[in-house]
Amino acid sequence: MLRGGEAEGEQLDAALAALETSSVRLALGRFASEALDGYSLRYMGILAAFTAMLPAVYHGTTTRATADPTEYFLTCLHLLVNVGMACKDLVLSSKALAAARRFASRLEALYAALALAPPPRPPPAADGSDAVLELSGLGVAAPGGEGAALLLQGLSLRLLKGQRLLVR
């Protein structure tokens, strides 16, 4: 309105640039997190499995460990990776639950604001009727100045108290 399209376009361009910057930053963070996650699960899990099985193989406390140490190592590794994945799932679940709680509290606040807000009080009509706004003989012209073709003409509108209208 009032030829503000240029300023609005600049604001939208600035918001889009900020969104693109944030998107790139989030993508890089996700890549680093997943790479570190995979690295730590793979190599730290192998180290933990090797450390956990070493006493059993060295002292020969189990026949399974002394008979085939490689299979025992892989079993220990598999079990430790599964425990790590379970812990990761618990952490991600708690993050998802926290996000859902935040979303629910925002919805609850919005609902409370909408439910408690008094309805807008229209001004009384000059003639004492229930009409708040009454327009007649309106026309809609295509953009282009005074010589533009009329798209619609002879429109009338009457809004009563409590009615709402969205013109698109």
pLDDT in tens, 76-89: 777 777 877 787 78
At residue 126, the pLDDT reads 60
Q: For residue range 87-100, list pLDDT tens digits in order.
A: 778 888 888 898 89
How would you label 30-42 residue by residue, b for 16+ Cβ within 10 Å and e otherwise?
Answer: eeeeeeeeeeeee
At residue 30, the pLDDT reads 87
At residue 61, the pLDDT reads 61
* Judgement on whether residues 41 and 110 belong to the same structural domain of the protein: yes
Whole-model pTM over 0.85: no
At residue 17, the pLDDT reads 92
Cross-strand pairs, 138: 155
At residue 45, the pLDDT reads 65
* Judgement on whether residues 65 and 148 belong to the same structural domain of the protein: no
Token couple for 129: 């009727």
Per DSSP, the chain holds a count of helices (H) and strands (E) of 4, 2
CA angle 3, 5, 8 (to 5 degrees): 130
**Of 51, 99, 113, whose CA–CA distance to 77 is shortest?**
51
* Judgement on whether residues 13 and 91 belong to the same structural domain of the protein: yes
Number of domains the chain contains: 2
Residues in the chain: 168
Type of residue numbered 93: S
* Judgement on whether residues 36 and 79 belong to the same structural domain of the protein: yes
Residues of the chain with pLDDT under 50: none
Q: Which residues contact 149 (CB under 8 A, 6 or more apart)?
A: 141, 142
* Judgement on whether residues 110 and 45 belong to the same structural domain of the protein: yes
* Judgement on whether residues 126 and 145 belong to the same structural domain of the protein: yes
- Across the chain, the runs of DSSP E, i.e. the strands, are 131-141, 150-160
At residue 3, the pLDDT reads 67
At residue 131, the pLDDT reads 73
33 vs 31: CA distance, rounded Å = 5
* Judgement on whether residues 11 and 86 belong to the same structural domain of the protein: yes
At residue 20, the pLDDT reads 93
* Judgement on whether residues 96 and 52 belong to the same structural domain of the protein: yes
Domain span holding position 47 = 5-116
* Judgement on whether residues 128 and 59 belong to the same structural domain of the protein: no
